[in-house]
């Protein structure tokens, strides 16, 4: 009983403590919500106050500025790239499917023509070759059987046709024999019997007359007269019988025999036709089977030959003298790429590039130009190239080729990133350059000996007009300017600023976000902002148009490429540490932003 009471008391205390904690959490929640509302109201008041203050900015605090300069200015596009041989032999795997590398020549080795470069695993192909040899033998046996079967079919067909022709010929001869011989004989025989019966009847009748006369004169007895009468009746019956036989021959026997014989001729003729057709069909079927077996035999032999060729292709020899360069080393690899360096034990697929053998000393620089820079870059522009492995040396060249479509692999890795493969021919032989070296190219767009310029981050757009904040008597004031091209660091000022004026490097975004006295709402970016905060939107309330969307999108895309190697390394490490769920969530966010931009532009 005591234990029960004690347990009940403890339960009440626990329930009271839980209620107290819930009440405390509820009060803290209300307090936090109240604080958030107050902070939000203060921010709104600050924005309204700033908007009512006009376009002037107080010079309070340590705000970064820049003095407008005038002097030489180079407008260029700088991109990282890779050195590639201009003329080279590309060695690929020609083995079907995926195979494993058993041995591989060391990269950087100078090889002679005919030396072994790569040996691929051929065990699977050897097993398939044995199986294919068995199939070839079976196909050959089937082919021989079909060939002999054709000969038998032709022989049997000829025999059946000859026999049917003989039966048909005999049937025609039987018909002719009956019409021209047997029937005429039977007819003549019946007629001769009638003639003989008539003569015998006539003789019997004359004898009967004489017997009657003699009987009347009682020279003969009645018995002898009766005998003569009986003989006369007999001869009369014989005549009637022979006449009936002739009538039966002409009306019944002859038509029946003639019909039977004609039917035999017709049946024999039809049997002959059937035999010929059947013989022809049997021969054609045997020939078709022979052709099918022959084709199958040839196909199996071709497969065996292909297996033997595939086995030969597992050993790749040098087609010419040259320096061995792995394809994985020569290609520019993206940090998100999953391709492994070429090594023994790796699997390679058919048509995969394995080794490059340069055949000349001339080299190219391959770079990827962002879509935001395509309107600047053209073929024929001069290029200054610096190589990381050769500090202090510069090389010159020119742009010779720009891909018409973006790099498909980069689009697959990052749908938001559109870059175009560009080839740059370097002047000279490039004796010190090697395939796969990292380089940095500066494509010179324009060069000015005397130009006014400021940093690009000092310019923003207000109402679609380029604007900078210039230091005046009462602080920084918004000033519209006319701008030219930029080199990602400095932008050329055509009109609106004078050298020596001071501009604000971090202009306020509020005037660009909400412009008083107009119906346009514009969101501008600053190069110092994070990429997530650089989403430009320009929505017209009446027509839903975005007058500065294209320029803002190009600016955003251009600034994405302004990452230092350290920043890229950090991004790579961050991406590798992300879980699959986090990667999927990031892709969804990007897809959502693209959808929003698409819907806003419709």
Task: Specify burial of residue 383 (Cβ count, 10 A radius: 0-12, 13-18, 19+).
Answer: buried
Output DSSP code: residue 97: S
Task: Specify burial of residue 85 (Cβ count, 10 A radius: 0-12, 13-18, 19+).
Answer: buried
Judge whether 55-86+362-504 and 125-313 match in fold.
Answer: no
Which CATH class, in words, describes the domain spanning 125-313? mainly alpha
Nearest to 504 by CA among 481, 525, 523, 478: 478
pLDDT score recorded for residue 401? 92
Output DSSP code: residue 447: E
Asked if pLDDT for residue 551 goes beyond 60, the answer is: no
Give the CA distances from residue 466 to residues 459, 496, 539, in Å, rounded to whole numbers and listed in that order.
6, 10, 18
Considering the chain, what percentage of its residues have pLDDT values greater than 90?
23
- The predicted model gives 499-511 an average pLDDT of 80
- The predicted model gives 1-28 an average pLDDT of 46
pLDDT score recorded for residue 305? 93
Q: How far apart are CA 91 and CA 113, in angstroms?
A: 13
pLDDT score recorded for residue 200? 82
- The predicted model gives 373-392 an average pLDDT of 89
- The predicted model gives 420-438 an average pLDDT of 84
Which uninterrupted H or E stretch holds 460? strand 460-462
Nearest to 327 by CA among 348, 310, 302, 306: 348
| Stretch among 96-100, 197-201, 288-292, 575-579 having the lowest mean pLDDT | 575-579
Asked if pLDDT for residue 89 goes beyond 90, the answer is: no
- Report the chain's mean pLDDT, rounded to a whole number: 77
Q: How confident is the model at residue 384 (pLDDT cuts 50, 70, 90)?
A: very high
Q: How far apart are CA 372 and CA 97, in angstroms?
A: 40
Q: How far apart are CA 209 and CA 206, in angstroms?
A: 5
Instruction: Answer whether 0.85 is exceeded by the pTM.
Output: no
Q: Is the dihedral of CA 480, 484, 485, 490 positive or negative?
A: negative
| Residue 173, number of CB atoms within 10 A of its CB | 12
pLDDT score recorded for residue 63? 75
Residue 571 exposure: Cα atoms within 13 Å on the Cβ side: 12
- The predicted model gives 322-346 an average pLDDT of 73
Domain ranges of the chain: 55-86+362-504, 88-121+325-359, 125-313
Which tokens hold the place of 300?
A: 């199996």
Asked if pLDDT for residue 83 goes beyond 70, the answer is: yes
Alpha helix stretches (DSSP H) within 314-367:
327-330
Nearest to 438 by CA among 164, 169, 81, 76: 81
Considering the chain, what percentage of its residues have pLDDT values greater than 70?
74
pLDDT score recorded for residue 307? 93
Instruction: Provide, for the chain, the percentages of residues in helix, strand and coil under a 3-state DSSP scheme, each rounded to the nearest 5.
Output: 50, 25, 25
pLDDT score recorded for residue 141? 94
Asked if pLDDT for residue 567 goes beyond 70, the answer is: no
Q: How far apart are CA 253 and CA 247, in angstroms?
A: 9
Fold of 55-86+362-504: Elongation Factor Tu (Ef-tu); domain 3 (2.40.30)
SS3 468: strand
Contacts of 116 (CB under 8 A, 6+ apart): 103, 105, 315, 316, 317, 318
Q: How far apart are CA 323 and CA 361, in angstroms?
A: 11
- The predicted model gives 388-392 an average pLDDT of 86
Q: How far apart are CA 95 and CA 370, in angstroms?
A: 37
Which tokens hold the place of 491?
A: 């932008």
Give the CA distances from residue 273 to residues 154, 276, 280, 357, 458, in Å, rounded to whole numbers and listed in that order.
16, 5, 10, 73, 102
Residue 297 exposure: Cα atoms within 13 Å on the Cβ side: 17
Give the CA distances from residue 544 to residues 69, 148, 460, 517, in Å, rounded to whole numbers and listed in that order.
39, 84, 22, 18
pLDDT score recorded for residue 544? 36
pLDDT score recorded for residue 339? 63
What are 440-460's pLDDT values in tens digits?
Answer: 999 998 888 889 999 988 898
Which tokens hold the place of 9?
A: 């008391």
Q: How far apart are CA 156 and CA 456, in angstroms?
A: 97
Asked if pLDDT for residue 338 goes beyond 90, the answer is: no
Asked if pLDDT for residue 505 goes beyond 80, the answer is: yes
Q: How far apart are CA 521 and CA 536, in angstroms?
A: 11
Nearest to 387 by CA among 81, 86, 85, 74: 81
């Amino acid at each position: 009983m005591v234990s029960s009471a004690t347990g009940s008391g403890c339960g009440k205390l626990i329930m009271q403590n839980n209620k107290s904690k819930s009440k405390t959490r509820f009060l803290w929640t209300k307090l936090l919500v109240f604080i958030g509302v107050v902070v939000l109201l203060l921010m709104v008041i600050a924005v309204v106050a700033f908007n009512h203050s006009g376009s002037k900015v107080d010079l309070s605090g340590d705000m970064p500025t820049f003095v407008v300069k005038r002097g030489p200015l180079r407008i260029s596009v700088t991109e990282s790239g890779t050195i590639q041989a201009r003329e080279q032999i590309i060695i690929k795997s020609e083995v079907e499917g995926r195979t494993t590398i058993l041995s591989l020549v060391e990269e950087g080795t100078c090889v002679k023509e005919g030396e072994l470069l790569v040996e691929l695993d051929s065990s699977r192909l050897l097993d398939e070759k044995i199986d294919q040899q068995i199939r070839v033998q079976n196909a050959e046996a089937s082919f021989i059987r079909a060939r002999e079967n054709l000969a038998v079919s032709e022989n049997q067909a000829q025999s059946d046709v000859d026999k049917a022709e003989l039966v048909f010929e005999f049937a025609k001869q039987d018909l002719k024999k009956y019409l021209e011989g047997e029937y005429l004989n039977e007819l003549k025989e019946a007629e001769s019997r009638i003639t003989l019966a008539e003569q015998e009847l006539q003789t019997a009748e004359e004898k009967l007359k004489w017997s009657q006369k003699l009987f009347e004169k009682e020279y003969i007895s009645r018995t002898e007269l009766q005998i003569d009468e009986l003989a006369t009746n007999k001869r009369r019956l014989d005549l009637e019988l022979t006449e009936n036989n002739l009538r039966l021959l002409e009306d019944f026997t002859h038509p029946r025999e003639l019909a039977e014989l004609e039917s035999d001729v017709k049946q024999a003729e039809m049997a002959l036709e059937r035999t010929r057709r059947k013989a022809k069909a049997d021969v054609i079927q045997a020939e078709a089977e022979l052709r099918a077996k022959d084709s199958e035999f040839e196909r199996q032999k071709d497969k065996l030959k292909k297996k033997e060729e595939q086995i030969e292709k597992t050993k790749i020899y040098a087609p010419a003298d040259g320096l061995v360069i792995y394809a994985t080393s020569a290609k520019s690899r993206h940090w998100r790429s999953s391709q492994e360096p070429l090594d023994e034990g790796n699997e390679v697929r058919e048509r995969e590039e394995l080794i490059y053998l340069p055949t000349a000393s001339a080299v190219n620089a391959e770079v990827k130009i962002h879509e935001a820079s395509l309107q600047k870059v053209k073929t024929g522009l001069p290029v200054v190239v610096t190589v990381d492995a050769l500090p202090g040396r510069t090389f010159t060249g020119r742009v010779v080729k720009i891909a018409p479509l973006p790099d498909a692999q980069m689009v697959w890795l990052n749908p938001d990133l559109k870059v175009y493969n560009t080839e740059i021919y370097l002047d000279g032989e490039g004796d010190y350059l090697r395939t796969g070296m990292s380089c940095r190219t500066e494509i010179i767009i324009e060069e000015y000996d005397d130009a006014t310029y400021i940093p690009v981050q000092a310019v923003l757009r207000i109402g679609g007009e380029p604007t900078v904040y210039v230091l005046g008597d009462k602080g920084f004031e918004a000033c519209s300017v006319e701008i030219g091209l930029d080199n990602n660091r400095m932008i050329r000022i055509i009109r609106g600023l004078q050298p020596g004026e001071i501009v604000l490097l971090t202009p306020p975004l509020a005037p660009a976000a909400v412009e008083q006295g107009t119906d346009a709402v514009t969101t501008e970016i600053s190069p110092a902002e994070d990429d997530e905060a650089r989403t430009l939107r320009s929505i017209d309330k009446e027509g839903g148009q975005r007058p500065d969307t294209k320029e803002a999108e190009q600016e955003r895309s251009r600034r994405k490429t302004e990452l230092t190697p350290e920043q890229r390394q950090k991004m790579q490490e961050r991406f590798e540490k992300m879980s699959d769920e986090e990667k999927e969530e990031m892709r969804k966010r990007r897809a959502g932003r693209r959808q929003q931009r698409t819907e806003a532009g419709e």
